[in-house]
């Protein structure tokens, strides 16, 4: 090829490259010849862990939004002034030796009870159970491997999702889950500093047993006379209202799904109740009805002060030791751990012999359900302290403030109207115009305009709203109030959404 032709080719390539560069730069704002570094919008796992470790809180966001959060990996931190350590996955650190081939692999699944909130690494249920079983093993048999899959504040949905995500890694032979009342709660999220956080959201407020407990505590500080014999079980747990039944249905379905997924891997599933309160009675009854073959056992209860960490109802190391012995007896009786039982099992402390319980005959007695029904009434009045156990969520107990939405349950056999009274925010708050959407029976049936209060006039506004015919035929009604506007309001050192103050809502 001649020099002239080579020169022509080089010029042509140069012109084409220049044109391409011009077109590309014009369209994309970038350069073909000198591209900018790719900007990643997702951090590597290592980067996320390092960044999370810089925050003050103990929690990190999990990769799976259905898990939500977990304890930070490789964490050394005090919980209730007691040091605790997590492994590279954010689970409570296991202290035993690495598992040998053929070792039984057991998981203790749950929330703060399974995590061991307020106890040392060598006092958790998983550690004590592993030690109890290890001392019974036949000479030469591999030591059982017992691993904690738990995080403080997890619901059952969170913990089950995490375990399913990590089944291949953990590869359990036996999973023991510890049900607790907040299994029915909405899941927490995590704040920017690594603390648990109730995230405001449109549509439905955060709802849960822990929310109700906070409501009771705040109400007690505000007007202690409300607590005189009137504290009762939150409606969310009773299985009497539509929202409660829906959550129980989801809970049972979640248990069934986890059981089936474990069975597909030839792994066994056990429900071990850490107490015998009303929640556990309903749970056992619901689960036994839906899955008669589901293995359910009781541990030890009710706990006294000597069985709990100081100043908190979570179990202490003494109780975990007793519970480990009960679980050890159960596993030996079932012969689920190869090589176990060749040597005597540790004896149960005398105090705990009387705290054993058999769950096979557990049921909610008719008089208990009638007592729940008796306090499931037609009225919620914040000022009078009436019906606050019927508030699912969204109402600030300090003063009745509602942000984006609130939800509550009401009950009346012959109701035809809904009466609503609220205190409007002042005009200068800037929340107006404000429309309030009212839902019952799972659908919107009324929209009302909340007008700004007149200068010098009363901030109170009240409406009487006819109920839809189909709702009148359903004595138990869940009412959702949703605002189409709200403001960010400062209150006692924190910022909260605010649309109005709920005073009273009643079926009539």
Q: What is the CATH number of the domain that holds 256?
A: 3.40.50.1110
Give the tokens for residue 137: 């093993």
Q: Please indicate, yes or no, if residue 8 is contained in any of the structural domains.
A: no
User: Which SS3 state, helix, strand or coil, does residue 477 take?
Assistant: strand
Which helix (H) or strand (E) segment holds residue 18: the answer is helix 3-28
pLDDT value of residue 187: 92
* 311/382 same-domain check: no
Q: Please indicate, yes or no, if residue 427 is contained in any of the structural domains.
A: yes
Give the tokens for residue 57: 């809180």
DSSP labels for 230-256? T----GGGTS-SHHHHHHHHHHHHHHH
- CA 383 to CA 25: how far, in whole Å? 66
Query: What's CA 67's distance to the chain center, in Å?
Result: 9
Report whether 146 contacts 127 (CB < 8 A).
yes
Q: In the 8-state DSSP scheme, what is residue 429?
A: G
Q: Please indicate, yes or no, if residue 389 is contained in any of the structural domains.
A: yes
Query: Residue 331: which of 264, 268, 257 has the closest Cα?
Result: 268
CB count in 10 Å sphere of residue 222 = 13
* 339/268 same-domain check: yes
- CA 257 to CA 389: how far, in whole Å? 31
Q: Please indicate, yes or no, if residue 220 is contained in any of the structural domains.
A: yes
Q: Please indicate, yes or no, if residue 311 is contained in any of the structural domains.
A: yes
- CA 363 to CA 365: how far, in whole Å? 6
- What is the torsion angle, in degrees rounded to the nearest 10, for the CA atoms of residue 90, residue 91, residue 96 and residue 100? -90
User: Which SS3 state, helix, strand or coil, does residue 156 take?
Assistant: helix
Backbone angles phi, psi at 379, to 5 degrees: -130, 140
**Of 353, 388, 408, the domain-final residue:** 353
The boundaries of the domain holding residue 77 are: 46-353
pLDDT value of residue 397: 85
Which helix (H) or strand (E) segment holds residue 448: the answer is strand 443-450
* 257/170 same-domain check: yes
- CA 287 to CA 89: how far, in whole Å? 31
Structural domain tally of the chain? 2
Q: How far from 139 is each of 74, 284, 342, 346, CA to CA, in Å?
A: 34, 38, 8, 17
Q: What is the pLDDT along the chain (508 residues), one digit of tens a residue?
A: 565 565 555 555 555 555 555 545 554 455 555 555 656 667 787 887 788 778 889 999 999 999 999 999 999 999 999 999 999 999 999 998 999 999 999 999 999 999 999 999 999 999 999 999 999 999 999 999 999 999 999 999 999 999 999 999 999 999 999 999 999 999 999 988 899 888 888 889 999 887 787 777 776 666 555 545 455 789 999 999 999 999 999 999 999 999 999 999 999 999 999 998 889 999 999 999 999 999 999 999 999 999 999 999 999 999 999 999 999 999 999 999 999 999 999 999 999 999 999 999 898 889 888 888 888 999 999 888 888 889 999 999 888 999 999 999 999 998 999 999 999 999 999 999 999 999 998 899 999 999 999 999 999 999 999 999 988 888 999 999 999 999 999 988 889 999 999 999 999 9
* 197/320 same-domain check: yes
Domain of residue 452, CATH code = 2.60.120
Q: Please indicate, yes or no, if residue 315 is contained in any of the structural domains.
A: yes
* 330/435 same-domain check: no
Q: How long is the chain? A: 508
- CA 385 to CA 395: how far, in whole Å? 13
Report whether 431 contacts 499 (CB < 8 A).
yes
* 345/398 same-domain check: no
Query: Residue 211: which of 28, 392, 436 has the closest Cα?
Result: 392
CB count in 10 Å sphere of residue 24 = 15
Give the tokens for residue 4: 């002239």
- CA 358 to CA 262: how far, in whole Å? 25
User: Which SS3 state, helix, strand or coil, does residue 70 take?
Assistant: strand
* 325/185 same-domain check: yes
Q: Please indicate, yes or no, if residue 418 is contained in any of the structural domains.
A: yes
Numbers of helices and strands, H then E, in the chain = 13, 22
* 349/473 same-domain check: no
Q: How far from 500 is each of 252, 405, 461, 506, CA to CA, in Å?
A: 36, 10, 10, 17
Cα angle 500-477-288, degrees, rounded to a multiple of 5: 125
Q: Please indicate, yes or no, if residue 370 is contained in any of the structural domains.
A: no
Q: How far from 397 is each of 191, 392, 479, CA to CA, in Å?
A: 22, 12, 18
* 337/474 same-domain check: no
* 309/439 same-domain check: no
Which helix (H) or strand (E) segment holds residue 193: the answer is none
* 341/408 same-domain check: no
* 274/193 same-domain check: yes
Residue with tokens 């929340």: 431
- pTM score: 0.88
Give the tokens for residue 132: 């109890």
Residue with tokens 């107006």: 432
DSSP labels for 274-319? S--SHHHHHHHHHHHHH-TT-EEEE---S--GGGB-TTSSSB-HHH
Using omega within 30 degrees of 0 as the cis cutoff, is the peptide bond preceding 433 cis? yes
Backbone angles phi, psi at 176, to 5 degrees: -115, 115
- CA 358 to CA 280: how far, in whole Å? 12
């Amino acid at each position: 090829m001649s020099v002239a032709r080579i020169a022509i080719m080089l010029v042509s390539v140069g012109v084409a490259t220049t044109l391409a560069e011009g077109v590309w730069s014009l369209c994309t704002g970038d350069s073909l010849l000198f591209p900018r570094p790719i900007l990643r919008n997702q951090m590597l796992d290592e980067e996320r862990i390092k960044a999370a470790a810089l925050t003050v809180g103990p929690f990190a966001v999990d990769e799976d939004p259905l898990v939500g959060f977990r304890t930070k990996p490789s964490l050394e931190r005090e919980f209730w002034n007691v040091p605790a350590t997590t492994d590279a996955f954010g689970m409570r650190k296991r202290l035993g030796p690495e598992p040998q081939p053929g070792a039984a692999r057991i998981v203790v699944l749950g929330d703060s009870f399974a995590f061991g909130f307020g106890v040392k690494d060598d006092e958790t249920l998983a550690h004590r159970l592993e030690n109890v079983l290890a001392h019974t093993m036949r000479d030469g048999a591999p030591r059982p491997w017992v691993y904690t899959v738990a995080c403080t504040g997890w619901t059952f949905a969170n913990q089950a999702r995490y375990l399913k995500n990590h089944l291949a890694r953990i590869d359990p032979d036996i999973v023991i889950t510890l049900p607790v009342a907040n299994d029915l709660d909405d899941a927490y999220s995590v704040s920017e500093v690594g603390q648990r956080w109730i995230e405001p959201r449109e549509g439905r407020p955060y709802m849960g047993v822990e929310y109700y407990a906070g409501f009771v505590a705040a109400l007690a500080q505000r007007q202690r006379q409300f607590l005189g014999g009137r504290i009762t079980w939150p409606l969310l747990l009773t299985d009497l209202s539509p929202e409660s039944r829906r959550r129980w249905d989801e809970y049972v379905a979640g248990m069934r799904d986890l059981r089936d997924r474990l069975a597909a891997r030839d792994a066994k599933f056990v429900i071990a109740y850490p107490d015998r309160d009303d929640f556990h009675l309903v749970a056992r009854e619901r689960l036994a009805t839906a899955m008669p073959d589901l293995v359910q056992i009781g541990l030890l209860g009710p706990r006294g002060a000597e069985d709990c960490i100081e100043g908190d109802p979570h179990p202490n190391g003494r109780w975990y030791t007793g519970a480990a012995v009960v679980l050890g007896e159960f596993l030996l009786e079932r012969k689920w751990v190869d090589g176990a039982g060749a040597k005597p099992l540790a004896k149960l402390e005398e105090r705990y012999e009387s705290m054993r319980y058999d769950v096979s005959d557990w049921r909610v007695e008719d008089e208990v359900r009638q007592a729940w029904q008796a306090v499931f009434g037609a009225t919620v009045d914040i000022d009078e302290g009436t019906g606050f156990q019927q508030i699912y969520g969204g109402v600030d107990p300090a003063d009745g403030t509602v942000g984006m939405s609130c939800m509550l349950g009401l009950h009346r056999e012959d109701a035809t109207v809904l009466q609503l009274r609220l205190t409007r925010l002042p005009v200068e708050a800037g929340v107006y115009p404000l429309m309030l959407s009212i839902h019952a029976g799972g659908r919107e049936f009324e929209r009302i305009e909340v007008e700004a209060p007149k200068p010098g006039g009363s901030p109170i506004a009240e409406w009487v709203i006819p109920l839809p015919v189909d709702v009148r035929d359903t004595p138990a009604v869940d009412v959702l109030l949703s605002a189409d506007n709200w403001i960010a309001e400062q209150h006692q050192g924190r910022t909260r959404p605010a649309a109005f103050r709920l005073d009273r809502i009643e079926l009539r």
